[in-house]
Amino acid sequence: MKILVPFKSVPDPNDVTVAGAAASTPKWVINPFDEIAIEEALRIRERGEATEIVGVTIGAPAVDEQIRAALAMGVDRAIRIDDSRALDPYAVARILGAVVEKEAPHVVIMGKQAVDDDSNQVGQMLAGLLGWPQATFVSKIEFLDNRTRAQCTRETDGGLEVVAIKLPAIITTDLRLNEPRYVSLPGLMKARHKLIETLTCDQLGVTVRPRTTTLSISSPPKRAAGTRVESVEELVAKLRQEQVL
């Protein structure tokens, strides 16, 4: 079984302060949800259910650093689609669709959302474009029937839900699927010899143009820091004044 894992480079969410100001020179990391997807692919390979894991990302050469991190975790080889435009989720899904056609994986595992953009669209759009089944927000994956189907537990607003999907399919990961491993030194050494293939949209035969554009970015209104109270009695009195008790 071959697994394709698309991933995105994002500013390290732990670098963002509580005030909302991003650090001036953010450290870039693999989107945490995508890191969970990579980890899951590794575990599937480690239990003998997959033979190859291919990573794919889109961006300028600078994202090679996150590609190396994915390879160091254990991804077998990687593809970088050389495109540094500000793409929207639909454009990303179209490009990934072309990569899927080229690589013909049995399953695509990817994060449910990127923690910078928070759109939560690409996996579902990719499934729609390909006409493949999808399981989103997944916290458990088991392969069934000689790996022709996957049974997935999904985290929904109403609690856990289980679906079975025919492969090939798209699976998007939620937080509790696993805890990604740290990169090891031997992993890093091995990664240096792994292949990063660079392709353009032209070479993939796909033409995309983002149709959503960010016009401006602003800070949301801040909540003023409130009042410290010293006792339960004082708190209850305040809440009564506010007419919430």
Partner 1 sequence: MAKTLILIEHDRQQVKRPSLHAITLARQLGGDYALLVLGHGLDDIAASLVSYGACAVVVADDPALTEPLADRYATVIAEATRKRGAKTLLGTSSTFSKDVLPRAAALLDAPMVTDVLAIEEIDGSIMYRRPINAGSMLTTVRVEGDRRVLTVRATAFEAPAANAAPSPIERFAFDAASLPNGMQFISREQRASDRPDLTESRVVVSGGRPLKDKETFERLVGGLADALGGAVGATRAAVDAGMAPNDYQVGQTGKVVAPELYIALGISGAIQHLAGIKDSRIIVAINKDPDAPIFQMATYGLVGDLHHIVPQLIEAVRRA
For partner 1, the binding residues in 78-137 under the rule CB under 8 A are 88-90, 93, 112-113, 115-129, 131-137
The distance in angstroms from the start CA to the end CA of the chain is 58
Between β-strands 28-30 and 159-166, what pairing exists: parallel, antiparallel or unpaired?
unpaired
Among 52, 64, 163, 180, binds partner 1 (CB under 8 A): 163
Residue 7 makes contact with partner 1 by CB under 8 A: no
Among 51, 84, 148, 156, binds partner 1 (CB under 8 A): 156
Three-state DSSP at 140 gives strand
Among 162, 189, 200, 207, binds partner 1 (CB under 8 A): 162
Provide, rounded to whole angstroms, the least separation between the CB of residue 184 and partner 1.
24
Of 213, 219, 232, 191, nearest to 91 by C-alpha is: 213
Is the Cβ of residue 62 or residue 160 nearer to partner 1 in the bound state? Answer: 160
Residue 23 makes contact with partner 1 by CB under 8 A: no
Residue 178 makes contact with partner 1 by CB under 8 A: no
Residue 245 makes contact with partner 1 by CB under 8 A: yes
Q: Count interface residues toward partner 1 (CB under 8 A).
A: 83
Tokens matching residue 193:
């010899």
Among 38, 76, 174, 191, binds partner 1 (CB under 8 A): 174
Rounded Cα gap, residues 27 and 236, in angstroms? 44
Of 218, 203, 211, nearest to 86 by C-alpha is: 211
Tokens matching residue 232:
């339960």
Q: From 60-68, 76-84, 189-197, 207-215, give the range in contact with partner 1 by CB under 8 A.
A: 207-215
* Residue 121 burial (C-beta neighbours within 10 Å; 0-12, 13-18, 19+): middle
Please report, as a single letter, which amino acid is at residue 42.
L
Is the Cβ of residue 59 or residue 89 nearer to partner 1 in the bound state? Answer: 89
Provide, rounded to whole angstroms, the least separation between the CB of residue 128 and partner 1.
3
Three-state DSSP at 47 gives coil
Among 166, 189, 198, 207, binds partner 1 (CB under 8 A): 166
Integer CA distances (angstroms), 185 to 29, 40, 72, 106, 192, in order: 18, 20, 8, 30, 11
Among 48, 186, 205, 226, binds partner 1 (CB under 8 A): 226
Residue 231 makes contact with partner 1 by CB under 8 A: yes
Q: What are phi and psi of 160, to 5 degrees?
A: -85, 145
Residue 60 makes contact with partner 1 by CB under 8 A: no
